[in-house]
A and B are shown apart, each in its own frame.
Chain A
Amino acid sequence: MNEPQTIIDKLWDAHEILRRDDGESLLWVDRHYVHEGSFHAFGKLAERRAEVAEPGLTFAVADHYVPTRGPRGNIANPELARMVRQLADNCARHGIKLFGLDDPRQGIVHVVGPEQGLTLPGLLIVCGDSHTSTHGALGAYAFGIGASEVAHVLMTQTIWQKKPKRMRVSVDGVLPPGISAKDIVLAIIASIGADGATGCAVEFAGSAIRALSMEGRLTLCNMSIEAGARCGVVAPDAATFAYLKGRPYSPSGAAFDQAVEDWSKLATDEDAAFDSEVALDAARIAPIVTWGTSPQDALPIDASAPDPTRESNPERAQYLREALDYMGIAPGKKLTEIAIDRVFIGSCTNARIEDLRAAAAVLVGRASKVPGLVSPGSTLVKRQAEDEGLDRIFHLAGLEWGESGCSMCVGINGDLVRPGERCASTTNRNFRGRQGPGARTHLMSPAMVAAAAVSGHLADVREILGSRKM
């Protein structure tokens, strides 16, 4: 009998071409996603006059620089236009399939991959974007890499890695009404810290994780990087297989059945050992918002901002002072009293159909007290939302219904939160200036952003939905 293995070991072993004596392994890459930001890597290929080793395993999406407001047939900003065109040129030159601006399947790479069935259980997936961890939701080993590594993968379809430590985060129990995957992952990050999983691959397990939809699992794995993890993974199960069946690029017919048989063996064996374990009780998770400048600065909505004068550790007190100062929040202020200037619903974290439905459920029949943008995760999500009438709910609430792209999460397409403005956002990073220089970001779930929109301040969605069925 073989030694019991974790899903992390099984995924690793299936891709290890060789391991050198010094412990570094060369891994086979099943899917390589590229975007406009991959131009440095294509430049390295050009310098070496090198070709792409496996163009058929490489897929490109225009997402980071594409406009997400107004028409975008012709991009007015010449720099943005150049970035998008450069990707198309590189794809044409190397024979890479591109989901470009004019493609009905365009969207954010971490939404498009699963949606198209390109992301599958058991695959090793890389992309020059830290939120590549998202794809672990389907049982893939997926992680973000830098430009030099992107160039290496383009040229060899392999990557050098040292096997990370294995961490299991178990969330058991039943989530209370109004609590989503975003609250789970923010609770995890608040609990272990923004570097709590550094050097680790994380398996998310437990009954509360099993009960999550695929959308929820994608949100969860997406933010595993915000705890420093190399990657996050959820063992594939019946929900995963049902999600994948019939997707354009996923196997079909007998090949699908064969795949499901193999994928079913990926789950962690009983008694397999992890290097570390963390456990959370789902029943105790409240709606969470961030108050500071790191995703670990997260608290339940009914709490108050920290007070540096009550902090005994001087360095921690200094950190709190600087974060509160940047955020423009008085020490000890009740979180529900923090007024907001705008909302953003979008990003690879929370712009899938379920996210839009959750926000719409709060907004229906209500008006937003602040302006805001809703940017669907993909153009297909946009169409589906429109078929369901969600766009009308956002319109009637006074929010702008935009196009798909990374948009105001990172702001490099020009959609920015203005200096000093406070934004309730479904995104993944509340770093200083992330949504624009001087922008103040509060991270939360789509339902919580909607609750903030209709209240004009951070608010508890449970109270707003109290009179309605959740």
Chain B
Amino acid sequence: MTQNETNWPVALCATDSGAQAAAVNALRELLHVGLRIALNGRSDVSEAHLEDFAQESLLRVLDRLDQFQGRSQFTTWAQAIALNVAFTELRRKRWQDVSLDALLADGERLADLAVIADDVLGAEEDRTRLVGALRNAIEKDLTPKQRAAILGELREMPFDQIVELLGTSRSAGYKMLHDARRALKQRLQEAGITGADIQSAFD
């Protein structure tokens, strides 16, 4: 049987301890190879990192075996988990020195009306109207934490880091951000700006 044909969930739970160990080792190697391909060329990733990510990913995959639904190949599903493990850790390291105060101060910049220029998207009347309505909605409809979260996202700060700094859970943080986006969108629509206007504004 080739590696692609392996029934991984069965092999990883085999009662024969030798067979199970072989499957675990094969999966660790497969994850290691995938991570090497995905992270090739990054100066912040060493061989030791790859080893650590592969081991951590293996444990995560084994822990979630019951969540595999068989809707893709097992190896693709496992690689997706491994990449999540690796990128989450790399992002955490990159942003670990950002403080809550800095994030909230950044968010407050967004509440400052002068921080978004009228003509930032162009001088056409419909675009300046959209920008004006957006500024107004950001100031009136968002909480400081929502503003901070949105600016954190714009800076490509990891979502895990944003919610950690804001002292909330991932699901609550996601809801907070989703509520903020919906509130802004609704306010724009109330100002007569349609979804099509929003889409076309940045084409």
**A and B, one complex?**
no
